[in-house]
Amino acid sequence: MTSLSRIRNNVRSVLDELPGHVQLVAAGKTRTPEELLEAVEAGVGIIGENYVQEAETAKKVIGSRVKWHFIGHLQKNKVNKAVDLFDMIETVDSVSLAERIDRRCEKSGKVMPVLVEVNSGEEPSKSGVMPEDTVRFIEELVRLSNIEVRGLMTMGPFTEDPEDARPCFARTRSIFTRIRDLGIAGTGFRHLSMGMTGSYRVAIEEGADMVRIGTLIFGEREYRKKG
């Protein structure tokens, strides 16, 4: 089997497996536009990109027939490009970043759907808002009229055993439910983006409605870039 037809088969089996309410975000970092295109033709509707530059290159080939989600760490000097390229930014974790996105959107006449990234494992090396700060953080964000807070995103720990991530996913879900029930972000607050290749099944059990999957679709990454 060629690597492209393997991608096609992988996408189909992931899509077959996911419950109907769960959206697949194909994590595209380090993949070529041709590989991404193959995934799109097999049914992927959302591509998640960690790097603005890679997204720009891939979007030239694939265009707007899919949604583009930013899932990396967004540097402030990349905000303008990111606002132009992406349909959702999943990783908002500071008020100053949110304010920059808001200002750029105002200029472009756009409203950006965003997720708030939660550092659910409270790991110093990871980005994201601390769990206990999330409600207050979202109360600040909802004042900005050119972004819409649509939910939460979390990474969780990188370990072999996906059960290690379960407490972090459960914790994020419980914050999500609290914010939704408080109504502070309105009725558009309904997404929970959690789970990767090793952990998506556990994430879905814990309430994820978006899973971000790279390796299971495209194979092992051959190199890693710093984010």
Residues that bind ligand PLP (CB under 6 A): 27, 29, 50, 71, 196-197, 212-216
State both tokens at 128.
């994201």
Check residue 192 and report its DSSP letter: E
Nearer to ligand PLP, 94 or 197 (CB): 197
Q: What is the DSSP string of 118-181?
A: E-TT--TTS-SB-GGGHHHHHHHHTT-TTEEEEEEEE-----S-GGGGHHHHHHHHHHHHHHHH
Name the minimum Å distance from CB 112 to ligand PLP: 18
Name the minimum Å distance from CB 123 to ligand PLP: 14
Beta-bridge partner residues of 114: 89, 149
Spatial CA neighbour of 104 closest among 57, 144, 59: 144
Spatial CA neighbour of 118 closest among 108, 110, 126, 107: 126
Name the minimum Å distance from CB 139 to ligand PLP: 25
Nearer to ligand PLP, 146 or 171 (CB): 171
**Residue labelled with tokens 């995934």:** 39
Nearer to ligand PLP, 50 or 134 (CB): 50
Nearer to ligand PLP, 70 or 146 (CB): 70
Q: Check if the beta carbon of residue 172 is closer than 8 Å to that of residue 118.
A: yes
Dist CA 144 CA 181 (whole Å): 21
Name the minimum Å distance from CB 144 to ligand PLP: 23
Nearer to ligand PLP, 109 or 224 (CB): 224
Name the minimum Å distance from CB 100 to ligand PLP: 20
Please identify the residue of the shown chain whose CB is closest to the bound ligand PLP. Answer: 214
Name the minimum Å distance from CB 14 to ligand PLP: 10
Nearer to ligand PLP, 32 or 197 (CB): 197
Is the Cα torsion angle 177, 145, 126, 224 positive or negative in sign? positive
